[in-house]
Structure 1
Amino acid sequence: MEQINDIQVVPCTSSNYLKPFRVHYSQNGTKKSWDFMRTHDSVSVLIFNTTSHCFVLVKQFRPAVYMCEWERTKPKAPDSGEQAAEEKEGAAVGGGETPPGSVGMTYELCAGLVDKADLSLEEIARQEVLEECGYDVPVAKLRRITSYRSGVGVTGAKQTMFYAEVSDENCVGEGGGEPQEGELIEVVKVPLHEAMTFAYDESIPKTMGVIFSFIWFHNNMSPKYKISTNV
């Protein structure tokens, strides 16, 4: 998953996942404008294995994260016009050392887009847990934690977070996502007693969903298992 090469930056003229817009509006008599992306809502699932007392996360390559890191090492163009022309032509990334693919890897909750109108949020979450992590969890066993707006400056999409307890008996596959959809997902287990250290370790690239859900578990579920979460 970390062998990244043949990078090419090209204009995004169409996408099934996001659409850029510019909105003009008036706020308290002041005319304003804002650029935003229309995207799908999503679900995420904090998975806790009660057999091994560990959290089940996913680890995958995120091109957006990788490109942010690449920008840090990219030689600066003499002026913005030249840079824009380069991106318009879809020039291959060159000049300077290309970062290793590992800088684009992030630890995340199992998650997926809400893009199936005929399925409930719980049913979509159940599918994602099965596809990404290999556990078969009944919809009735999914506990809704909360929902929130993510990326409010750019997208404003809503993510709904669930909690699922699983055991080794619920494991029916290896997970890893759907290869036909280009998913390359590694299933990662974080022991409960290491969870909060993991959450606050800035050297481990992770989403805010991981940090928030670990704190939620510590506040709401830890007494049930009588195990310290290293806070």
Structure 2
Amino acid sequence: MAEPEFLKILATSVLSDDWGTLTRYRFRFRRRDGTWQEQTREAYDRGNGATCLLYNPDTDCVLLTRQFRLPVWLSGKDPFLIETPAGLLEGAHPEDRMRAELIEETGFDVSRLEHLFDVHMSPGSVTEYLCFFAGTYHLNDKVSEGGGEKREGEDIEVLHVPLSKALEMIRTGEICDAKTIILLQDLALRKLVPARS
């Protein structure tokens, strides 16, 4: 990647290269007033991902998951997070990867997904961005039990939650995952203001 005019990389050092890669960068950055400042930052690269909120118009429910998250436990919070299904792209096309992840985590195979937007979730320290999708599901779309991949350490509970309850769960703190909050609020807004034809 070519350096832009406002940035000069002086040195890089890989600090860890296990599940992801943690790299320290020393660089010069040209500030808005034209002066150059030397800075040091660390960036964690674990690849990009995709997430999706499925909505059932027949039941007015959304399809969510609950699973253990070690970093949340380490921060002193309830580690069993309620989330939208998600996964790393690992070189796959985002929509294809999301379809496979939905089957793996929830057991539902849906025919159409809508790409909404891409979001950097923690841009100060993580290179990852997530491709956000929405879709419709019906109970007859179920093709397996879901629950995730045991060999990958996944133990995922599948939840069908009324949309109104899910929105209330944001307010009470029961849902505190950023990607999930974004997708629930996006769905609520789209229901209030339908897209123009």
Interval of TM-score (by shorter of Structure 1 and Structure 2): 0.7 to 0.9
**One-letter amino acid of the structure 1 residue matched with residue 80 of structure 2:** M
Match in the other structure for 2:46: 39
Find the counterpart in structure 2 of residue 134 from structure 1.
107
Q: How does 1:160-171 map to 2 (within 5 A)?
A: 160-171=131-142
Contact (CA 8 Å) 2:166, 2:175: kept in 1 or not? no
The equivalent position to 1:19 in structure 2, one of 9, 18, 21, is 21
Q: Does 1:212 align with 2:187?
A: no
CA-CA distance at 1:126 after TM superposition: 0.2
Runs (4+) of structure 1 exceeding 4 A deviation are none
Q: Secondary structure at the match of 1:55?
A: strand
Structure 1 or 2: more helix by fraction: 1
Distance 1:143 1:136 in 2: 14
Q: Which has the higher contact order (CA 8 A, sep 6+)?
A: 1
What's the offset of the Cα at 1:136?
0.9
CA distance, structure 1, for counterparts of residue 16 and residue 23 of structure 2: 13
Structure 1 residues 43-192: aligned runs within 5 Å: 43-69=50-76, 103-115=78-90, 117=91, 119-138=92-111, 141-192=112-163
Instruction: For residue 205 of structure 1, report the CA deviation from its aligned partner.
Output: 4.5
Q: Say which SS state the counterpart of residue 143 (structure 2) adopts.
A: coil
1:20–1:218 Cα change, 3 Å: same
Q: 1:223, CA displacement in angstroms?
A: 6.3
Q: Is the 8 A contact 1:41 1:114 kept in 2?
A: yes
Relative to its length, the structure with more strand (as a share) is: 2
Q: Distance in 1 between matches of 2:129 and 2:67?
A: 21
CA distance in 1 between counterparts of 2:37 and 2:63 reads: 48
**Equivalence for 2:7:** none
SS at match of 1:59: strand
Secondary structure in structure 1 of the residue aligned to 2:140? helix
TM-score, normalised by the number of residues in structure 1: 0.71
Q: Structure 1, unaligned stretches of length 5 or more?
A: 1-11, 71-102, 225-231
| Paired amino acid for 1:214 | L
Identity over aligned residues, as a percent? 23
Structure 1 residues 37-75: Cα deviation after superposition (integer angstroms, max 9, x where no partner): 1111000001112332201111100011111218xxxxx
What TM-score, normalized to structure 2? 0.83
CA-based RMSD of the aligned residues comes to 1.8
Q: Following TM superposition, by how much is the alpha carbon of 1:219 offset from its aligned partner in structure 2, in angstroms?
A: 1.2
Amino acid across the alignment from 2:81: T
